[in-house]
Amino acid sequence: MPLGNGTGPIGQSGQGLGRNQGIAAGPEGTCICTKCGKELLHKRGIICTPIQCPKCGAPMTRKE
């Protein structure tokens, strides 16, 4: 805190989008393949990114 006012380096407060890029997707929804578009049901408590697409093997991402 260079200025002692609670901000980080050069006026940054440290409050970014954070986990999941600010998407509050909730427990429902779908995971979608980044390559072929295959969709799977999202399972509560399991993030989509480590899941591999069963069709092409590419990583999955959360559908908004």
For the segment 43-64, what is each residue's pLDDT rounded down to a tens digit?
Answer: 888 899 999 999 999 999 998 7
Q: Which domain holds residue 56?
A: 25-64
Give the CA dihedral 9, 14, 16, 19, nearest 10 degrees: 130
Distance, CA of 60 to CA of 30 (rounded, Å): 10
38 inside domain = yes
Q: What band does 39 get if pLDDT is binned at 50, 70 and 90? A: very high
| Rg, C-alpha atoms of the chain | 17
Angle at 61 between CA 27 and CA 64, to 5 degrees: 55
What's the whole-number mean pLDDT along residues 30-55? 93
11 inside domain = no
> Which tens digits make up the pLDDT trace of 2-11?
556 666 566 5
35 inside domain = yes
